[in-house]
A = this chain, B = another copy of it.
């Protein structure tokens, strides 16, 4: 049997430690790994795509070997161009990460890492987005090992969910308390914009790290990650609000036809 084909991408850029750790883990498991990732960091780009500009590609080498393609585009662009133009064969699984910093709660919507996995799901390819809960680089070995195990399971269960968002606590592996299958937390962060004036008298703002009501997070991805568990959330790309369909029908009752 041909080995499993994995497309590996991220939003921290092709040279990020998290991506390299994941490459090693997947490669050493015998998978065929193609890397197509942004040429530099593209965090918080959400599901942006590049339509008005050309997408440049560049082959990247490591230690003399071809490592992958660097793209001047977003994580979603990487998946699209990989599948539609660059790869010899369609990947069996797309893995996005390992991201520096968690992607939980509302932040999933802003995440380039998660959007790459979502883009794969749109194209009908099972996918995993993976993030470690620290903004400084870590020893990614355990996280990479966990994902490589998850990839094997994902392809074994053909009926299984198309896209998984995985977050891993930034603590030594033996202190991780387990794995929780959880929902996305929907509580907003309390945000703050810091106002400043530049040397020419122009006003500008910095979007600041935000406060959060931890009570509201109970039982969600944010809660269990902070408790020391790996969290797994199946995600989808149908934004239709089922529960609101009926309410909206009442609201529009005299104009619907």
Please report the C-alpha to C-alpha distance between residue A41 and residue B162 in the assembled complex, in whole angstroms.
33
**Is A3 part of the contact surface with B, judged by Cβ < 8 Å?**
no
Q: Which residues of chain B are within 8 angstroms of A177 by Cβ–Cβ distance?
A: 257
Residue pair B161, A244 in contact (C-beta under 8 Å): yes
**Is A33 part of the contact surface with B, judged by Cβ < 8 Å?**
no
Q: Which residues of chain B are within 8 angstroms of A51 by Cβ–Cβ distance?
A: 43-44, 207
On chain A, the number of residues with a Cβ less than 8 Å from chain B's Cβ atoms is 84
Q: How many copies does the complex hold?
A: 2
- Tell me which of A22-30, A78-86, A88-96, A167-175 binds B: A78-86
Which residues of A come within 8 Å of B, CB atoms?
Answer: 41, 43-52, 54-57, 76-77, 80-81, 84-85, 106, 108-110, 114-115, 118, 122-124, 153-154, 156-157, 159-165, 177-181, 183-184, 186, 188, 191-193, 195-196, 202-207, 229, 232-241, 244-245, 247-252, 255-257
Minimum Cβ distance to chain B for residue A170 (Å): 19
Q: Which residues of chain B are within 8 angstroms of A108 by Cβ–Cβ distance?
A: 239
Question: Could you name 17 residue pairs across A and B whose Cβ atoms are closer than 8 Å?
Answer: A46-B46, A46-B76, A56-B203, A85-B205, A118-B239, A160-B244, A161-B241, A161-B244, A161-B248, A165-B239, A177-B257, A180-B256, A181-B245, A183-B240, A184-B240, A232-B248, A235-B239
Residue pair B43, A46 in contact (C-beta under 8 Å): no
Residue pair A123, B188 in contact (C-beta under 8 Å): yes
Q: Which residues of chain B are within 8 angstroms of A81 by Cβ–Cβ distance?
A: 193, 205, 207
Residue pair A109, B237 in contact (C-beta under 8 Å): yes
Residue pair A184, B238 in contact (C-beta under 8 Å): yes
Q: Which residues of chain B are within 8 angstroms of A106 by Cβ–Cβ distance?
A: 122, 237
Residue pair A248, B203 in contact (C-beta under 8 Å): no
Residue pair A154, B251 in contact (C-beta under 8 Å): yes
Minimum Cβ distance to chain B for residue A114 (Å): 8
Please report the C-alpha to C-alpha distance between residue A181 and residue B256 in the assembled complex, in whole angstroms.
7
